[in-house]
């Protein structure tokens, strides 16, 4: 394949893709174009059918006239023979000889043209039904397209709002709670390790020791008094 052939294929493919994209974005216009094209062809087909129907009607009328004329000539021929009008009978026989093959020919033509007319009418009716079907398809497909587009927009909105925003919000709340807990833990730890708290604890322990020492002295003095009193009793 030559360079220009490949270039032609590339350009053709590009424009085909471009046209395809435009068609997908504007389905209503595509359907309208297809329907209008079929209406145009229907009009052309209707003209062709009308020509065939006209020929059928013309053939039918001519056949009826020829058959009626032949019936009349046959009746006249009987009278001419009865009356002995040989010259008239000869003219009538000549005319009869012209009519009979023509009638046979018209019958064959009428059979053919009737068949053509039936086929043409059938094709026209089928074409009309196809256009009606295409119009119904257009309404259905456009409705589906609008529904799908709405669903996609809703889904995009939900995707943009729910997952990212909600997840981030929850993460922020969790982080904030953990920070507050950590601050509380640090405050308690600092309070436990503070110098004032240690001094207060030492003072408390010292006070307890002094109180115990005083209590011991009181108990010792009381014991000494009780011992002296006991000795006095024994002396008496």
Q: Spell out the SS3 assignment of the chain.
A: CCHHHHHHHHHHHHHHHHHHHHHHHCHHHHHHHHHHHHHHHHHHHHHHHHHHHHHHHHHHHHHHHHHHHHHHHHHHHHHHHHHCCHHHHHHHHHHHHHHHHHHHHHHHHHHHHHHHHHHHHHHHHHHHHHHHHHHHHHHHHHHHHHHHHHHHHHHHHHHHHHHHHHHHHHHHHHHHHHHHHHHHHHHHHHHHHCHHHHHHHHHHHHHHHHHHHHHHHHHHHHHHHHHHHHHHHHHC
pTM: 0.46
pLDDT per residue as tens digits for the range 131-189: 899 888 888 888 888 888 888 887 777 665 555 556 667 777 777 787 777 777 666 65
Residue 34, pLDDT above cutoff 50: yes
Computed over every residue of the chain, the mean pLDDT equals 78
């Amino acid at each position: 394949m030559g360079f220009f052939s490949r270039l032609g294929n590339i350009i053709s493919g590009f424009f085909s893709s471009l046209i395809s994209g435009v068609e997908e974005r504007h389905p209503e216009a595509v359907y309208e174009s297809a329907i209008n094209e079929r209406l145009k062809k229907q009009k052309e087909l209707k003209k062709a059918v009308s020509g065939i129907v006209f020929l059928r009607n013309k053939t039918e009328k001519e056949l009826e006239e020829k058959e009626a004329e032949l019936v009349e000539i046959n009746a006249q021929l009987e009278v001419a023979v009865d009356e002995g009008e040989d010259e008239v009978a000869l003219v009538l026989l000549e005319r009869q000889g012209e009519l009979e093959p023509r009638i046979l020919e018209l019958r064959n033509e009428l059979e053919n043209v009737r068949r053509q007319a039936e086929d043409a009418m059938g094709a026209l009716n089928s074409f009309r039904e196809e256009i009606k079907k295409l119009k119904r398809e257009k309404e259905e497909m456009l409705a589906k397209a609008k529904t799908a587009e709405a669903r996609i927009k809703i889904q995009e909105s939900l995707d943009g709002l729910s997952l990212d925003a909600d997840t981030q919000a929850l993460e922020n709340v969790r982080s904030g709670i953990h920070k507050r807990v950590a601050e509380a833990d640090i405050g308690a730890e600092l309070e436990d390790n503070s110098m004032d708290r240690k001094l207060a604890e030492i003072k408390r322990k010292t006070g307890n020791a002094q109180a115990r020492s005083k209590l011991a002295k009181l108990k010792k003095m009381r014991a000494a008094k009780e011992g002296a009193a006991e000795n006095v009793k024994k002396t008496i």
